[in-house]
């Protein structure tokens, strides 16, 4: 599987037989998503920064809520969570997606606004790659992200939804998260190729550069 960060909370997961795009955003956000094609699009919640499906080419299947799905050989589990620490009273609901593609399980947390409960953590077990918001404000901050990582114990962690030169939203910079995780040096890379056999033994933070244009 090839993982490319399209910016904010949007990733392209390209497998042998299918491509998944998570949380496509409106061009007003600041990044340039282009017009990527996909087999499946996942939407964690209805907000222009996460649900702009018009940005995706082809005729993708849209998955935008809790449940179990099997599409084009991809297994997806949507888990009901919240966009805040008050059980959705402030900002509503959020769907976390477990995506099984090419024998690798990717967990996309969307705009998760709270540390997962014990029941939710049990549902999110055996995560290989965790795509996690770290910029705070409307989702997990650095501290909450680190606590979530310790609960889920993924093999690879890819931070998302933080302040960059492109994004106009008020978010915390990546530095706070890296400091909390004890990561002193990490060079961003254009994409990540991962297979079940190539997963690291210990939790590893991987930084991706947002795709341009």
Backbone angles phi, psi at 39, to 5 degrees: -85, -35
Full domain range(s) for residue 8: 2-205
Answer yes or no: is 213 within a domain: no
Q: What span, in angstroms and rounded, lies between the C-alpha atoms of 15 and 171?
A: 31
Structural domains of the chain, count: 1
Answer yes or no: is 26 within a domain: yes
Answer yes or no: is 175 within a domain: yes
CATH code for the domain in which residue 90 is found: 3.60.15.10
Residue 117: DSSP 8-state: P
What SS3 class is residue 25? coil
Task: Please report the beta strands in 56-162, taking only residues with DSSP state E, as ranges in sequence order.
Answer: 61-63, 67-71, 74-82, 93-101, 104-108, 129-133, 156-160
Answer yes or no: is 178 within a domain: yes
Q: What span, in angstroms and rounded, lies between the C-alpha atoms of 130 and 142?
A: 14
Answer yes or no: is 44 within a domain: yes
Q: pLDDT digit string (tens) for 38-96?
A: 999 999 999 888 999 999 999 999 999 999 999 999 999 999 998 778 876 777 799 99
Answer yes or no: is 211 within a domain: no
Answer yes or no: is 52 within a domain: yes
- For residue 119, give every residue at least 6 positions away whose Cβ sits within 8 Å of its Cβ, in sequence order, or none: none
Task: Give kind and range of the element (H or E) at residue 147.
Answer: helix 142-152
Answer yes or no: is 138 within a domain: yes
Q: pLDDT digit string (tens) for 171-205?
A: 999 999 999 999 988 889 999 999 999 999 999 99
Does the pTM exceed 0.75? yes
Average pLDDT over residues 18-23: 98
């Amino acid at each position: 599987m090839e993982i490319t960060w399209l910016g904010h909370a949007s990733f392209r997961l390209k497998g042998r037989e299918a491509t998944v795009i998570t949380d496509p955003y409106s061009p007003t956000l600041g990044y340039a998503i282009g017009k990527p094609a996909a087999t499946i699009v996942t939407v964690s919640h209805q907000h222009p920064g996460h649900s702009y499906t018009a940005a995706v080419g082809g005729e993708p299947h849209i998955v935008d809520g809790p449940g179990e799905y099997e599409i084009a050989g991809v297994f997806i589990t949507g888990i009901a969570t919240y966009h805040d620490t008050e059980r959705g009273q402030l900002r509503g609901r959020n769907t976390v997606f477990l995506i099984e593609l090419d024998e690798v399980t990717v967990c996309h947390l969307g705009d998760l606004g709270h540390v997962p409960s014990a029941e939710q953590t049990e549902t999110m077990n055996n995560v290989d790659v965790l795509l996690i918001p770290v910029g705070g404000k409307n989702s997990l901050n650095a501290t909450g992200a680190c606590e979530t990582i310790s609960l889920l114990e993924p093999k690879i962690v890819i931070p998302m939804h933080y302040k960059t030169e492109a994004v106009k939203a008020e978010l915390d910079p990546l530095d706070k998260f890296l400091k909390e995780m004890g990561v002193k040096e990490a060079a961003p890379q254009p994409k990540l190729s991962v297979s079940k056999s190539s997963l690291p033994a210990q939790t590893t933070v991987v930084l991706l550069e947002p795709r341009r244009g």
